[in-house]
Structure 1
Amino acid sequence: MLKLQNKSILGLCLFALSVTSNANNIDERTQVFNIMKKYVESTACGHTFESSGDLNRTNINNVYLISNDRDTGNTVYFVFWGGDVGCNVGSGTMSYYMSEVSRYSKSRPFLVQNNDAFGKNVNINFRFIQNIRKIKNDEFEIISWNYADDKYGGVDGGNNFPANKFKYIVKNSDGGWHISKQSLIEQNN
């Protein structure tokens, strides 16, 4: 009876720890979301944090935990959003971004680090992203259109109508993000 009671108590403690950890993660995600919203409101127009427009609205589900060192507090989030950075209000000035918001320790605040969290070497046209899905902390699936090229062909319909729709798998390995798989899923001819 004592063994069963100890297992029950251990199970209850683990459950409580998991609920507390999940609640902390939700609180942190909300904090990161609000920081990113303030940043976007001060740098872009027609953005996905606004309540109107035909853009996909940014919400808490667009905040992705990438890494978290519970001992030090070093934590990295990626936030997916869209907008016209610099408010140029022209044809082709709207784009989507994956921004990094992180902190170095528990005693430091979360800060927006950049708007290209995957780095400069990930050759995806962020203007035409249709869907993004986190597979794991170090892997994302992205659906986006891109312009015609020698490898895939296709016919562009001008600046705002690229020829090829791709599914990309983006992974973080060997110290950086890269496209590990690219599949053509639709093409304008």
Structure 2
Amino acid sequence: MKRVLLPALLFAVPILSHAGTEAEERLEALGLLIKHSETVACDTTFRGHKSARELLKNVHTIERDEEIGSATYYILWGGDMGCNRGAGTSSWFVSEVGRHSDSRPFMVRTNHAFGERFASEVNPRFIRELQRTGDRQFVVVSSELAGNDANNFPSSRYRYTLEMQQGVWQVVDKKFLGRNEY
């Protein structure tokens, strides 16, 4: 019995570790990030959705190599990191989830996929949209507080274009989209 079971397990391991389809991987990366968010944040944007379809629009494939099984996904999500539960403590995050080969698991690599400098140029508290527009380019729609704005009511909405340049994400364009109405 042991002789039959061991070869069956050895044969099954490559099949189980082989990269799935991109759709399966995106779903797996999203599921992992949802579990991760439960350990680091409260009141996340993952709550209240009846299906993954709506959430999958915020999962963006960055790279995927079927031959070695590596993959990287950027996922937009929001929540109260650290569960401070105060006015202005919720924010949006772009997390990087990936793996280096099909024999390794997906892991949340960072909650700041665009780098720490991103938050100094784009206010992450008010992100409303993330779109991949090219191989090394994203568009982010977010808002900014102006002079007399209340803490949770930014008046100005902008579209930022981000590009990967020399291994770092840079804001290369900022366009005013109008005033927010409340």
For this structure pair, what is the TM-score category when the shorter chain's length is used for normalisation?
0.7 to 0.9
- Give the TM-score, by structure 2 length: 0.79
Q: Distance in 2 between matches of 1:58 and 1:120?
A: 27
Conserved 8 A contact 1:74-1:104: yes
Conserved 8 A contact 1:79-1:100: yes
Residue 19 of structure 2 corresponds to residue 27 of structure 1: no
Q: 1:92 aligns with which of 75, 88, 93?
A: 88
Structure 2 counterpart SS, 1:81: strand
Conserved 8 A contact 1:78-1:117: yes
CA drift at 1:187: 4.2
Structure 2 counterpart SS, 1:59: helix
Q: Which amino acid aligns with 1:26?
A: A
CA drift at 1:58: 6.2
> Between Structure 1 and Structure 2, how many residues are aligned?
156
Structure 1 counterpart SS, 2:27: helix
Q: Distance in 2 between matches of 1:115 and 1:58?
A: 20
Conserved 8 A contact 1:76-1:100: yes
Instruction: After superposing the two structures, state which structure 1 stretch, 84-93 or 164-173, moved more.
Output: 164-173
Conserved 8 A contact 1:49-1:58: no
Q: 2:168 aligns with which of 158, 168, 176?
A: 176
Structure 1 residue aligned with 2:126 = 128
CA drift at 1:84: 0.5
Which consecutive segments of 4 or more residues in structure 1 shift more than 4 A? none
Change (3 A) 1:64 1:113: same
CA drift at 1:67: 0.7
Question: What CA RMSD, in Å, does the superposition of the two structures yield over aligned residues?
Answer: 1.9
Determine what percentage of the aligned residue pairs are the same residue.
35
Q: 2:36 aligns with which of 17, 34, 39?
A: 39
Structure 2 residue aligned with 1:14 = none
CA drift at 1:42: 1.7
Structure 1 residue aligned with 2:60 = 64
Query: Any idea what the Cα deviations from partners look like across 1:82-109, whole Å, max 9, x if unmatched?
Result: 0011111000011110000011111110
Conserved 8 A contact 1:63-1:78: yes
Query: Any idea what the Cα deviations from partners look like across 1:154-174, whole Å, max 9, x if unmatched?
Result: x34122122421111111121
- Consecutive unaligned residues of structure 1, counting only runs of 5 or more, are 1-22, 149-154
- Consecutive unaligned residues of structure 2, counting only runs of 5 or more, are 1-19
Query: Any idea what the Cα deviations from partners look like across 1:112-163, whole Å, max 9, x if unmatched?
Result: 0111100122221010112221112321111111133xxxxxx341221224
